[in-house]
A and B are shown apart, each in its own frame.
Chain A
């Protein structure tokens, strides 16, 4: 025995004494428990996982202002509206068509 009693541990049950794992509650009964827990005030505190609506900006952004003849601007706006795309998507579409035509 040490002077201060630092040595030693606790008695754990032998692995062979450990009874078989008790039956696991199925998902349906866990869901019932969660619902019952809500009535006791134990509710989800996690933030919403839904993304904010609007364009998802996954790449660097920039902007351009293009002054020009009204007929050209109107035609470009009509082009985008007919396809239900934004102005930058319309520009991207035209550029990709040009790449496809020249390549």
Chain B
């Protein structure tokens, strides 16, 4: 399998992961009044008490990190494909790849730190 085929397959696989985890996330955060899952009745999903309650769960922490990685790869690889289709010069193609890779790793590190630190903080409360 060639490199781009592999990356495209990962892009599709990441899409499937996002579909499940982001679907759950959207259900919790934006269909709270319709579905009413994982939030105390009569409260908003971003209320600190709800954030802490979800933050205590190891399953939530793992799902945040999985979603973060899958969504960053899916989104940034998708963006790369759109930019590459514009047929930039060879050096620019390489630069786009490097910038997106470094940016993606940086944001993954920040988000993973936040998920783990948030979990530790919630557990300690």
| Chains A and B bind each other | no
> A residues bordering B, Cβ < 8 Å?
none
Contacts from B to A (Cβ < 8 Å): none
